[in-house]
Amino acid sequence: MLYRASRKITKLYSFIYWYLIVTGKKLKIGWFSFTCCEDSTMVWIELMNENFFKWKDLLDIRHARVLRKINKLENIDVAFVEGAITTESDARKLRSIRKNSKKLVAIGSCAINGMPAAQRNLFDEEQKKEIEFLVERFKQTDKVRTVKDIVSIDDEVLGCPMEEDVFLKILDKYLNEFGVINAH
């Protein structure tokens, strides 16, 4: 009885697996970087090296400047965003990412609490005066803002750079939620 039930479950999983492979269902993702050192991007690239054969059938990478020049900002399931927001043009781009993505995940300390870039928010008047010419030259906003200051987020991966295990858990969650087979 138990044997027959387990065979049925195995058959069901095989069917789901083949259905997903045949239909080619993938999680459409984007990776975006704003003001930061892009170390979380490096962590992500390392993870892609390690998981290449598993993820190539599961992920449709629609936008990642670090991987290619031509990118599409449309119909993204999950956008991963690292970096603090320090210009109005970045804020506009972030709003556009939010508009074109079903879910948005803030990646790393810069995106989540603005640090270390947001240290200048705490400067006294004298320190602000010293950096004024740089703020103007690079069209920076008066305050450094977090991703959450501009748009709503669905999840966040803390760390500087991001914590790999948390990233993998969140990716897994969305692979399940969007009906793509479990990555593990």
Q: Which residues here bind ligand SF4, judged by CB under 6 A? A: 36-40, 82, 108-110, 116, 160-161
Minimum distance from CB of 11 to ligand SF4 (Å)? 44
* Nearer CB in complex with ligand SF4: 109/140: 109
Strands 76-82 and 27-33: parallel
Residues with Cβ < 8 Å from 16, sequence gap 6 or more?
Answer: 181
Structure-token pair, residue 79: 């956008």
* Nearer CB in complex with ligand SF4: 157/180: 157
d(C-alpha 25, C-alpha 22), whole Å: 8
Minimum distance from CB of 119 to ligand SF4 (Å)? 11
d(C-alpha 85, C-alpha 14), whole Å: 45
Q: Which helix (H) or strand (E) holds 122?
A: none
Minimum distance from CB of 78 to ligand SF4 (Å)? 18
* Nearer CB in complex with ligand SF4: 34/55: 34
Decide if 15 contacts 47 (C-beta within 8 A).
no
Minimum distance from CB of 161 to ligand SF4 (Å)? 4
* Nearer CB in complex with ligand SF4: 30/161: 161
